[in-house]
Amino acid sequence: MARSRYFAYQLAFTLLVCAFLIVPVCMSVMAGFTNNFFKGITSGFTLRWVFEVWDLYADTIFLSMGIALACLACTIVLGVPAAYVLAKRPGRITRMIEEFLVLPLAVPGLAIALALIISYGQIRGFRLSWTFILVGHVLYTLPFMIRAVLAVLSSTDFRTLEESAASLGATFWQRFFQIVVPNCRSGILAGSLMVVTLSIGEFNLTWMLHTPLTKTLPVGLADSYASMRLEIGSAYTFVFLVMLIPLLMALQIWGQPRAPRKAVAEDDAGVVAARRRESGSQAAR
């Protein structure tokens, strides 16, 4: 009977942890639809705050979507070829390139943002446009795209495929676009979901890089928490969650680059991808 007692304790503890994480989310959603949160739900249900959020902050939502898509395009164009090179030529130099490219993850966003402002802040046209934020997002999300694609490439035998194509007379570029890229689709999909999710929620860099005319969703959130009433902040948070949930669900389904071996349970996508890649390269040896 001792075991069932342990089970009950652990279950109670885990439920408590779950409550700690979820109760504030529910409260926030509730507050977003309540006339007056201070008085409680009895003050009545309303959509007023959501409409107000739309009036005040719709532009931040569109800007965030735009930046996320632009960031996705950049990370695909930059990341997929880079990942291919890293997978094709494992060695000291490519290892070093990889270490370099993931460096922005080890440095706090605040420091990167400061560095960008110091270096490029004088170029007014650039500083004032949304592309300044885009640069920060690309730096921060590129490692996730590279790792996701690398994970897939390391677990597929793309070399044999390439060799057969080459023996049939395919040029390098034909091989790259018609063999390699289609074969890392699942990695590109997983990486894309990660990139979009991260870009939409990025704050550390964005707060420093934004201007009053280039506010993204998280910047708007910070703004509403600081200067608006609690109900508006709550309704805005709800809008953000509504955007996030489909992405999270898609990540659950397609977030793990498909590999022939048994999938490792997902933790941080980057960590998993790296681990998968390591196990993949061990198998190849």
Interface residues for other proteins in 40-99 (CB under 8 A)?
77-79, 81-82, 84-86, 88-89, 97
Q: Do 180 and 158 touch, CB atoms closer than 8 A? A: yes
Closer to other proteins by CB, 156 or 194: give it: 194
* Binding residue for other proteins, selected from 47, 115, 242, 283, defined by CB under 8 A: 115
Q: Do 208 and 110 touch, CB atoms closer than 8 A? A: yes
Closer to other proteins by CB, 21 or 168: give it: 21
What minimum distance in Å lies between the beta carbon of 201 and other proteins?
4
Question: How is residue 169 annotated by DSSP?
Answer: T
Report the C-alpha gap between 205 and 126 in whole angstroms.
16
- Lookup result for tokens 């989310």: 25
- From 267, 136, 147, 116, select the one nearest 203 (Cα to Cα): 136
Does the footprint of other proteins cover residue 201 (CB under 8 A)?
yes
**Piece of 45-53, 152-160, 181-189, 245-253 that binds other proteins (CB under 8 A):** 245-253
Closer to other proteins by CB, 28 or 156: give it: 28
**Piece of 51-59, 152-160, 182-190, 204-212 that binds other proteins (CB under 8 A):** 204-212
Angle in degrees, CA 262, 265, 268, rounded to 5 = 130
**Piece of 52-60, 65-73, 111-119, 122-130 that binds other proteins (CB under 8 A):** 111-119
Does the footprint of other proteins cover residue 254 (CB under 8 A)?
no
Does the footprint of other proteins cover residue 37 (CB under 8 A)?
yes
Does the footprint of other proteins cover residue 165 (CB under 8 A)?
no
Does the footprint of other proteins cover residue 107 (CB under 8 A)?
yes
Q: Do 270 and 105 touch, CB atoms closer than 8 A? A: yes
* Binding residue for other proteins, selected from 203, 250, 254, 281, defined by CB under 8 A: 203
* Binding residue for other proteins, selected from 23, 69, 213, 284, defined by CB under 8 A: 23
Q: Do 60 and 219 touch, CB atoms closer than 8 A? A: yes
Amino acid letter, 10? Q
Does the footprint of other proteins cover residue 112 (CB under 8 A)?
yes
DSSP structure string for 34-56: BS-TTT-GGG-B-SHHHHHHHHH
**Piece of 11-19, 45-53, 152-160, 184-192 that binds other proteins (CB under 8 A):** 11-19
Query: Can you read off the two tokens belonging to residue 37?
Result: 């949160």
- By CB under 8 A, how many residues form the interface with other proteins? 93
* Binding residue for other proteins, selected from 218, 228, 232, 280, defined by CB under 8 A: 218
Report the C-alpha gap between 250 and 236 in whole angstroms.
22
b/e map of 249-275 (b: 16 or more CB within 10 Å)?
ebbeeebbbebeeeeeeeeebbebbbe
Does the footprint of other proteins cover residue 181 (CB under 8 A)?
no
Cβ-proximal residues to 50 (8 Å cutoff; 6+ apart), any chain: 32, 33, 235, 238, 239
**Composition of the chain by helix, strand, coil, percent to 5:** 80, 0, 20
Question: How is residue 104 annotated by DSSP?
Answer: G
* Binding residue for other proteins, selected from 151, 235, 247, 259, defined by CB under 8 A: 247
* Binding residue for other proteins, selected from 49, 57, 158, 240, defined by CB under 8 A: 240
Query: Can you read off the two tokens belonging to residue 219?
Result: 């910047």
What minimum distance in Å lies between the beta carbon of 25 and other proteins?
7
